Structure 1
């Protein structure tokens, strides 16, 4: 040990001297540091087995630009929802793990003795290790593949989680956004474009019947859509909800944006609702995007393989097309093609992505998983490349929900045909995941380089729905952050090399 210690100290001193020298030559150092970072990254992905722990460290440290496919409620971890259960005076039912919100039932539970209560506080759930473990299996995907409890298929498990925590997700948005902001800063993410809250809707049975009538042509459909607009404006419930939504965006987002972090919002439409609900929700979402600069786009979400989602898919795209003519400046990021062979009949896989870009006018595609099955896949990808329509790639949820990963994932096709794509999280709270891990999965599964992953970080700003000025500001911030990151990696590599040289052989 006495022989090793001086050797180690000398090696570290040499490394420190090299780092100090590098600090004096700023322009040269930046290039040298980038090259050193590139070599270090190559060492992590070379060989037969990627170095997962080191890749995790690398991507945790790396500036990751933005997360463009991000669901607000799906990003919150279950533990925070349990705190909100207590904050609102609710309780969680034993066995079902549903949140009780009814005032009368809550009063009955509070009046019962502790031993006979069937509904308990969020803190009580967290203090019971067994209950907490089971709750996390229902409110998220934790332990799905390594426990033997009876469970639904992966896609149902994933989509069912929202029904558990929704009662508290939408009533604590300011607190939730602050949590997501701090988590993003800790993870070196500077921008989030979140699918925030369900856009206001209303029901019109006559409209539903009319637009679902067989043989309705596009002119007749547009006439029906046009006729509903003044009806919506006279609907006090819908207009009141719309005003409340505007206030919620402003109040919840207060104090979120600063020099370190920026967040923007997308109202969403639920694709498995009735046509009148979907269209009225679209109208409110488009109006929100036009009137509030923090609302930068409109989205449609919900399991794509359900009967109503499939039946009404083309109808929904026509609705988007109609509204895009009235609000051409509003941007669309549409969940499309989140399907796998066998989930629906094969003809259901043939045109969802193409319809989203060619009919609805989508500027980005969420998931885009069934592209290989589409009837005109090559033409669709050519159009996406030429128009700069990026795909939001969500490796963890694509694997869990659809069972698609590795070479079966269409990111391989998008890369081959030059379609832009970005790495994103989808529902990090449900998956108990983060953006660094998504980058780690990408680098572990697909041959890549430091130049490509760095470009993906910048592309997450480039393909955002931010204004040109905001993109320029965040890109300039990325320049500064990458210079520091690359300097840190270069210094760390020198230190690691010195430590390796000092190890006994």
Structure 2
């Protein structure tokens, strides 16, 4: 900050700018005094980020330490880097397949054990990592042979044989999140116990008229699986916590990252399989408070997903009536012009919102929907947030920059959150999503803070929110003063509000440190 050479000078500069910044940012002076908000400090950090806008490396240095709230669209299986999967597979004696593109359980020739192959064949190992992710594809390898869409989704089958290391995966995801200064992960994750039951769904036809009768039969058959699934999650969480030394003086930063789960129903399967996965999801959420909602996943452009989209929404509507406490976030609009026929672009997001979704995953195809403006108006009115995945939409759909609807949603008042989707397969992280939001979407620091706050406000976290009006930064009455006993009581009873209050403290610490460093550099 030119002209400010000392800490005392910096404080005087900040006091002198305070009145102007309070008015410019639209924050009342009273609120700025009762919460750790300092509009002048925020404006000064915003200036630093604007100055670095043309340099992604400089932006990353600035944004890595920025508190980022919650990642609400993070598939645990896709969050893990191929190198980690290969290390775990090597520990279990797995082998590289003869084609060098995947792995398999032992036995195999000694030269194809992962432990030996990884050391003896450097370029073969690189080829294997590229096959198990989009790393090579993003750098031009094989782009003429396979689309980003197919490379992405094809990666899952290649690391599938070693994707059952749920405890290790949980620990890895929390470590990555801590490094990105996230407070919260809402992980898309199914226990092995429940996933294994999908393929055992009864065969046969299923249409909307048969959903009620099938539900009654399925609930009776599936209910006994829930206790075993909960026990499995208990063990996985305990093992992950032990690996990170949680609860000890040696606890890793990842231990502080709060975690809840979204059950993933599978859409690109026969209707009986899809319905069973949805029913299991609703049952699990009702039985286990660690699961806070149900999602529906797999490629939206897959033939069964397109053919049965209306049937899937009918399934969800019926289950939502029977289990009204279960929250929904639905992948919808993960399509774009040319990927699917025109009829599959017309109303997927509209249908998902009508089915009761409280958040929309991706929403990339909104501009192609018949009632796009009415749907966005409803989302804005009802507080239905959209989970924006910039790297994912670029790689899978080829949608980025000005073609991306992030700013279209913002212009229509739709709440927006940034998320990573499958950061291991995509070779990204949350900081990269924030950098892209600045460089490709033109967002500034104030907009990034709103997004970080939204990542907690629109999370399915238990308890009430800190903000009565998150857009206007108006806290609930109990926390008009964060230091008041009434606020301490409120925060202790509400996990969501507790994380939101912590985020404001993190913002204050981050901004203070960034400006102190800037003052020392000038």
> What's the TM-score once normalised by structure 2's chain length?
0.82
Q: Which of these two proteins has the greater Rg computed from alpha carbons? A: 1
Is the 2:206–2:272 contact (alpha carbons within 8 Å) kept by the matching residues of 1?
Answer: no
Q: Deviation per CA, 1:333-383, whole angstroms, max 9, x where unpaired?
A: 11101001111111110010001010x211100000111111111110011
Q: Does 1:157 find its partner at 2:151?
A: yes
Q: 1:87 aligns with which of 87, 91, 111?
A: 91
Q: Secondary structure at 1:298's aligned position in 2?
A: strand
**Hey, what does 1:312 align to over in structure 2?**
308
SS of 2:136 mapped into structure 1: coil
In structure 1, what is the equivalent of residue 324 of structure 2?
A: 328
> Within the alignment, does 1:169 sit opposite 2:163 as a pair?
yes
Residue 125 of structure 1 and its aligned partner are, at CA, apart by 2.3
Tell me what 1:228 maps to. 214
The correspondence of residues 352-501 of structure 1 with structure 2, limited to 5 A, is 352-358=348-354, 360-467=355-462, 468=464, 469-497=494-522
Alignment partners' CA distance in 1, 2:408 and 2:41:
32
Aligned-pair CA distance for 1:289: 0.5
Q: Secondary structure at the match of 1:439?
A: helix
Which runs of no fewer than 5 residues in structure 1 stay unpaired? Answer: 1-10, 212-217, 498-505
Structure 1 residue 145 displacement after superposition:
4.1
**Distance of aligned partners of 1:316 and 1:291 in 2 relative to their CA distance in 1, 3 Å threshold:** same
Residues 389 and 418 in structure 2, CA contact (< 8 A), matched pair in contact too: yes
* Structure 2, gaps ≥5 residues long: 19-31, 248-254, 465-493
What is the total number of aligned residue pairs between the two structures? Answer: 456
Residue 31 of structure 1: CA displacement? Answer: 4.6
What's the offset of the Cα at 1:121? Answer: 1.7
* 1:133 has 2:133 as partner: no
Alignment partner, residue 3 of structure 1: none
Measured in 2, the distance between the counterparts of 1:185 and 1:21 equals 34
Name the SS for the 1:253 alignment partner: helix
- Does the 8 A contact of 1:76 with 1:180 survive in 2? yes
Q: Is the 8 A contact 2:419 2:433 kept in 1?
A: yes
Contact 1:181/1:261 (<8 A) preserved? yes
Give the Cα separation in 2 of the matches to 1:122 and 1:409: 42
Q: Aligned-pair distance for 1:245?
A: 2.2
Query: 1:281 pairs with 255, 268, 277, which one?
Result: 277
Give the Cα–Cα distance (whole angstroms) in 1 for the partners of residues 277 and 116 of structure 2.
36
Matches of 1:226 and 1:353, distance apart in 2: 25
Give the conservation status (yes or no) of the 8 Å contact 1:269–1:300.
yes
Report the CA distance between 1:484 and its aligned residue: 0.7
Contact kept in structure 2, 1:23 and 1:29, CA below 8 Å: no
Structure 2 contact 420–429 (Cα < 8 Å) conserved: yes
In the alignment, the residues of structure 1 paired with residue 272 and residue 56 of structure 2 have an alpha-carbon distance, to the nearest angstrom, of: 48
Residue 4 of structure 1 corresponds to none
Alignment partner, residue 205 of structure 2: 209
Moved more, 295-304 or 441-450: 441-450
CA contact (8 A) 1:30 1:487 kept: no
- How many Å separate the matches in 1 of 2:350 and 2:286? 26
Higher relative contact order (CA 8 A, sep 6+): 1
Q: Secondary structure at the match of 1:143?
A: helix
Partner SS for 1:73: helix
Task: Give the superposed CA RMSD.
Answer: 2.6
